Every structure is written in structure tokens, then in C-alpha cells.
Amino acid sequence: MRFCLTISLLIVALVSVTTAHAAVVRVPEDSLKIQHAIDVADPGDTIEVGPGTWREVIDLRGKSVLLLGKEGATKTIIDGTGKGDSVVRCVTNEGPGTVIQGLTLTGGTGHAGLHGKNLSLGGGMLALGASPTLRDCIIVNNSATGNGGGVYCGTGADVRFEKCVFKGNSAEKGGGVLCVGSKPVFDRCLFEKNTARYSGGGLYAARGSDPTVRSSRFELNRAAYNGGGICTLDAAGEVLDTVFERNRAVTSGGAIYSGWRATLSASACRFNDPGDTVVGGTSLTRRDLRRGACDLGEQICVVAEERDCLAAAGIYKGDGTQCAAPDPVLQARRRGDLDGDGKVDRRDLSIMMLLWR
């Protein structure tokens, strides 16, 4: 009985000590700089950043802390303009207990030196051998001369992104994000208007990586070569319940390009625009292509979902199919049929003359 009581008291004491050490470090009230707040924080602490634009770049120093924008990402901005580095660095074995929440990361130009002094990686964030959690963050208008304009997830960087926005970032590969040798997770994220000077406008999955994308959206991303939305090479990955709209690649794969030795799979996705093409041979699961050519008769064809096509009494040509180029003669005839009787004749000419009066 005495032994059990002693153990119970010890547990209570340990909990009390842990609770006592957990603290809130407020910026700017307790620390004028975010980096200083990180430096003085203990594991388990919350660093609460007030609204405003904080012109600095930061390193999490391997600490399991919650870095929190007090009033959310739209009002709490870390701006690395002119600092010549990634806005945030996680390079000291940070784990899932290191949480960055409710912050905007902008103006970063990436960390140089890892692959040459003139080649920078990870404009908004550089993660190497670290697996922090980012939640409700906006990663916008960052760039890299090398890869990962918004984020670079290097070897062992199994970063988790929840409800994050990647917008207006640019790089050689992976305008929004590039991952290599890592397993990042993107849950309910938005990739919008990111650009790659080579491939992977939104996301580039490189050698040995295995990203998971679920319930997300890729819109208006661009690549000068392959994979406007997503490009994968020598990588795995899974894309689930994700929407692609108006993504473009100059060469191939407006929405997704799954290239050499890639085993990307996609399911329950939507491709809302004919330009959101998917290229990947047999390695890419194509059951997700819910839209296809719908023949409505009289040389009229539209790209639609199967259920909408059948509801309009059309003939559905199959998932992922495209409409053939229209016959210009029939188009001209159809445009001249002003009375809708299916032919162009004197009655149509009379209507035209009345319209000219």
C-alpha cells in the first residue's frame, strides 16, 4: 500500500514539474525577436507571436515547441526579404512535436551552400532530417535559384502540412515544394500559381521520396517542362481526393507527370479542365479520371463527368478521353443557322438583313 502511494505521489510530482516548465513566451512582450524567443524557450513551451510583419529568418534549433501566430497567418507574417536565406530552417532533428501554426512565410530566397554557393534551396522553408508539423500556414512569394521555392524537404524530412497554402513560389524544380528522400504529408492544402523553370510547378517528388497528398487542390500552377501540378521521377507517392484546375506544362502532364521509375498512384481525384492532363504510362492509376468526352450528337462534343453526360442524353466516351477537333465546315454552317431549322437558307439571309438595319 505504501509502495503504491509512493508511486502515485511520484507521478503527480513529475506531472507538476512538467506543467510548471511549460510556459508561454510572447513576442514582442517577452522577446523582441522570434529567434530570441526560440533560443530561450524550453521543450513544451509555446511561442506566441503577435500580429505584424517580423523581418527576420529563424531556426527552430531542434526544439519541440509550438510556434503560434496569435491572430492567424493573414495577420502574422515572417518576411525574409533581403536576408538571403530560407525564412524557416528545421535542420536539427525536429520532430512532429515541433509545430508551426498560423504564420505566413514570405520573401525567402533559400539557403545556399548545400549544392554550391550559387544554388539555393527552400525559399520559404528548408527541412533536412527533420519532421515538424505545419498547420494553417501560408507560404507565399518565396523563391530559390535551385529547388523548392516554397519548401525543400530533404532526406529524412517527413514534414506534415495541414491546411497550408503554397502560393506564388518559384524555383528550378518544385515551385511550391520539392521533396527528395522524404515522406511529406499534405492534408487539405492548396497549391496555387506556383511556377517551375523546369518541372513540378506545384510539387516535385524526386529520388526516393514518397509524398502523400489528400483532400487538396492544385490550381494555376505552371512548369516550363513537365508536370504543371505534380512531377515525379524515381519516386513513389499517393494522391487522394484532390482537385486539379487549369494547371499547365509546356511539354507534358498539365496536372500530373509520372516519369522514370515513378510509381505514383491517384484515386478519387477531379480534373476540371482539358489542359489538366495526366501522363504516366502504366505506372499511374487512372481510375481517378472522372471526366471524358461526351458526344451530344450533330458533331457537338464537350468534356464532362459521366453522370452529367448521361443526364444530357449524350454518349460518354470514357474517362480521360478528349473531344476531337471540330469540323470547321459544320461549325460555319451551325453559326449561319439563325432560325434553328438545321440548315442555312434564304430565311437565314432574311434574318441577317433585318439584323443589319
| 282/198 same-domain check | yes
pLDDT of 335 strictly over 50: yes
Cβ neighbours, 10 Å, residue 109: 23
Phi, psi of 53 (to 5 degrees): -110, 120
- The residue-averaged pLDDT of 167-178 equals 98
Residue 5 lies in a domain: no
The model's pTM is 0.77
Of 265, 289, 313, which marks where a domain is finished?
Answer: 289
Please, what is the average pLDDT of the chain?
87
Residue 175 lies in a domain: yes
Residue 295 lies in a domain: yes
| 310/256 same-domain check | no
Residue 15 lies in a domain: no
Cβ neighbours, 10 Å, residue 312: 11
For the stretch 126-136, pLDDT in tens is 999 999 999 99
Number of domains observed in the structure of the chain: 3
Q: What is the pLDDT of residue 292?
A: 74
Q: What is the pLDDT of residue 300?
A: 81
| 271/191 same-domain check | yes
pLDDT of 42 strictly over 60: yes
Identify whether the C-beta of residue 33 lies closer than 8 Å to the C-beta of residue 59: no
Q: What is the pLDDT of residue 5?
A: 44
Angle at 149 (CA atoms; ends 147, 152), nearest 5 degrees: 60
pLDDT of 15 strictly over 50: no
Strands (E) located in 113-211: 120-121, 125-127, 133-135, 138-140, 151-153, 160-162, 165-167, 170-173, 177-179, 185-187, 190-192, 195-199, 203-205
Q: What is the pLDDT of residue 296?
A: 84
Which is higher by pLDDT, 73 or 2? 73
Reading the block at residue 231, the C-alpha cell is: 512531377
| 306/355 same-domain check | no
| 356/342 same-domain check | yes
| 54/159 same-domain check | yes
Q: Where does the pLDDT of residue 68 fall: very low under 50, low under 70, confident under 90, or very high at 90 and above? A: very high
Residue 83 lies in a domain: yes
- The residue-averaged pLDDT of 231-249 equals 95
Q: Where does the pLDDT of residue 19 fall: very low under 50, low under 70, confident under 90, or very high at 90 and above? A: very low
Cβ neighbours, 10 Å, residue 159: 27
Q: What percent of the chain has pLDDT over 70?
A: 81
Residue 7 lies in a domain: no
Q: What is the pLDDT of residue 340?
A: 60
User: Could you list the residue range(s) of the whole structural domain that residue 127 is in?
Assistant: 23-289
| 178/296 same-domain check | no
| 315/262 same-domain check | no
Residue 8 lies in a domain: no
| 96/169 same-domain check | yes
In CATH, what number is assigned to the domain containing residue 54? 2.160.20
Cα 3 from Cα 187, distance rounded (Å): 47
| 226/357 same-domain check | no
Reading the block at residue 338, the C-alpha cell is: 439563325
| 353/248 same-domain check | no
Grid look-up 518544385 returns 174
pLDDT of 155 strictly over 60: yes
pLDDT of 20 strictly over 70: no
- The residue-averaged pLDDT of 54-76 equals 98
| 282/194 same-domain check | yes
Residue 2 lies in a domain: no
Cβ neighbours, 10 Å, residue 352: 11
